[in-house]
């Protein structure tokens, strides 16, 4: 006579396996290299940067006149350098973040790496644009430079490789036009809709509604934690990266938002 396996009996059989698997997952020690990969390698293409002035409904975050829209993440005034309409990272001064918080946006900015760089890979003109202070579009000198491809310029850092390398020569300006769709969460904190990012680099589409897998992590896999609107953050990665002409449009406020 065969024995009937009830749901209760099945649980007793599987429970030890579940406990072991969970313990192994929690004890996993990640290294940075675990989340770096070098293929596929995007093709190098040439394109003249597309520089765009803010449209009439844009909120100007930096027009070269000062840091009125920004503050240090440490609190207080921005300590980055301001010269000739350009802001430049002052190594050691820390990241800066907008005073206002945002949801879904179109974010436009121009950036350039220093003309003289010591180092290679991630050590060349490294910075980043953090949407809602969590989801990073990488800034990096990619002119004749090699690194892990999910960490190159215009990558969704350690998540999505851009379609192409459209880098301007070192010391010349690049443009990013970023469309960010903010994530949505249920009351219990679970993800109802993930974030999505589209990026045009020097006028070329290099990310098309890439599904963000969670907050940017240097070590370990990304994951989501429930949050509301938050600021735009620019990174001090100890390289003298410069920025200018930064503006955004608040997409959540569109009367025809879909």
| pLDDT band at 8; cut points 50, 70, 90 | low
Mean pLDDT of the chain: 90
Q: Residue 3 has what pLDDT?
A: 52
pLDDT at residue 14 greater than cutoff 80: no
Q: Residue 22 has what pLDDT?
A: 43
Q: Residue 106 has what pLDDT?
A: 98
Residues 6+ apart with CB under 8 A from 12: none
| pLDDT band at 170; cut points 50, 70, 90 | confident
Please tell me the pTM assigned to this model: 0.87
pLDDT at residue 4 greater than cutoff 50: yes
HSE, CB side, 13 Å, CA atoms: give it for residue 118. 1
End-to-end CA distance of the chain: 61
Percent of the chain with pLDDT over 90: 78
Dig out the tokens for 203 from the structure.
Answer: 């006028």
| pLDDT band at 6; cut points 50, 70, 90 | low
Q: Residue 27 has what pLDDT?
A: 52
Q: How far apart are CA 16 and CA 19, in angstroms?
A: 5
Domains of the chain, earliest start first: 7-253 (2.60.120.560)
Give tens-digit pLDDT for 73-93.
999 999 999 999 999 999 999
Give tens-digit pLDDT for 93-119.
999 999 999 999 999 999 999 887 777
Q: Residue 20 has what pLDDT?
A: 39
Give tens-digit pLDDT for 215-228.
999 999 999 999 99
Strands 70-72 and 105-112: unpaired
Read out DSSP for 52-92?
Answer: -PPPTTPEEEE-SS--TTEEETTSSS--SEEETTEEE--TT
The predicted model gives 196-203 an average pLDDT of 98
Q: Residue 55 has what pLDDT?
A: 97
Give tens-digit pLDDT for 171-192.
899 999 999 999 999 999 999 9
pLDDT at residue 7 greater than cutoff 50: no
């Amino acid at each position: 006579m065969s024995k009937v396996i009830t749901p209760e009996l099945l649980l007793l059989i599987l429970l030890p396996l579940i406990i072991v698997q969970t313990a192994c997952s929690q004890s996993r020690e990640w290294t940075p290299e675990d989340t770096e990969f070098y293929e596929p390698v995007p093709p190098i293409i040439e394109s003249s940067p597309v520089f765009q002035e803010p449209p009439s409904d844009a909120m100007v975050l930096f027009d070269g006149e000062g840091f009125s829209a920004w503050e240090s993440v440490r609190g207080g005034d921005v300590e980055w350098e301001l010269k000739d309409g350009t802001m430049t990272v002052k190594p050691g001064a820390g990241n800066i973040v907008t005073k206002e918080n945002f949801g879904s946006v179109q974010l436009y900015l121009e950036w350039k790496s220093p003309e003289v760089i010591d180092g290679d890979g991630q050590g060349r003109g490294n910075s980043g644009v953090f949407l809602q202070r969590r989801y990073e579009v990488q800034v990096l000198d990619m002119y004749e430079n090699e690194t892990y491809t999910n960490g190159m310029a215009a990558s969704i850092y350690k998540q999505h490789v851009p379609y192409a390398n459209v880098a301007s020569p070192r010391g010349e300006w690049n443009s990013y036009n970023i469309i960010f769709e903010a994530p949505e969460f249920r009351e219990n904190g679970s993800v109802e809709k993930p974030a999505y990012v589209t990026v045009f680099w020097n006028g070329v589409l290099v990310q098309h509604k890439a599904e963000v897998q969670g907050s940017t992590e240097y070590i370990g896999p990304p994951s989501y934690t429930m949050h509301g609107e938050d600021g735009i953050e620019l990174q001090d990665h100890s390289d003298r990266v410069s920025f200018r002409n930064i503006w955004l449009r608040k997409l959540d406020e569109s009367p025809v938002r879909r």
